[in-house]
Amino acid sequence: MDKLVLSSYDTILFDMDGVLVDSEPLWKTAMHEVFSSLGSNLSKSDFQLTVGMRIDQVINYWQEKEHWKTTSYIIENQIIKKMIDLINEEGKLIAGVKETLLFVKSNKKIGLASSSPRALIEAVLKKTEIESLFDGIFSAENETHGKPHPAVYLTAAHNMGSNPSTCLVIEDSLNGVIAGKAANMTVICIPEKSHHPNPKLTVADFHFNNMEDLLIFLKSENNHS
């Protein structure tokens, strides 16, 4: 596929963390604080290994290496509580997000498909006041598998009455990109800036430096279609 043609898609599915809201640094802060309280020496840079995964999968990944005595359920609740507090204090939309949502909403269905639990999604949408712009909101919390499994994207397409082949996914992480590709969807990657660039992100179909660049392209492409 050589060119991104917006008219080829009837549905655009957005990841949330690192795509809509600048929350990846907040995740690192929340995990570092909670893991440190358990006696862990993990650094914030270590968490790049689990970006895009569902929080229970993240905890299980590190639990196997760290052997914490506290249950995963308690750890998860502590992290989510801290994340909601951080979102309420510091959460903000990434530049160009609201403008992009408003632009594509005129003739596309828009969905949110996130690895984050529903409680955190609701906190983000309330804080940023963008819930009304989405036609569907989906959490991998409700799936048997989180990203990189395609379940949440397939559920989103099904519930929105869309064929996966006509869905355009916007992701920031390798796990998210793999999930979108595995769902047979076209994937745009806008790498999250607080992580080191991952060369494997080249598996995405298209790449943009930021949401503002994507919006400029979409407007230009729309004018010439």
Residues with active-site annotation? 15, 17
**In the predicted structure, residue 32 carries a pLDDT above the cut 90:** yes
User: pTM value?
Assistant: 0.91
Side-chain half-sphere CA neighbours of 4 within 13 A: 25
Q: What is the predicted pLDDT for the residue at 3?
A: 85
- pLDDT for 90-134, tens place per residue? 999 999 999 999 999 989 999 999 999 999 999 999 999 999 999
**In the predicted structure, residue 45 carries a pLDDT above the cut 90:** no
CA 206 to chain CA mean position, Å: 16
Q: What is the predicted pLDDT for the residue at 224?
A: 60
**In the predicted structure, residue 223 carries a pLDDT above the cut 70:** no
pLDDT confidence of 225, banded at 50, 70, 90? Answer: low
- Domains defined along the chain, listed by start: 6-22+92-224 (3.40.50.1000), 24-90 (1.10.150)
**Strands (E) located in the chain:** 11-14, 109-114, 136-139, 167-171, 186-189, 206-207
Q: What is the predicted pLDDT for the residue at 34?
A: 95
Q: What is the mean pLDDT of residues 202-212?
A: 95
Q: What is the predicted pLDDT for the residue at 220?
A: 87
**Strands (E) located in 5-97:** 11-14
pLDDT confidence of 2, banded at 50, 70, 90? Answer: low
Rounded Cα gap, residues 225 and 185, in angstroms: 21
Q: What is the mean pLDDT of residues 165-181?
A: 96
Taking CA atoms, 137 is separated from 16, 120, 222, in Å, by 10, 12, 26
**What percent of the chain clears pLDDT 90, i.e. is strictly above it?**
82
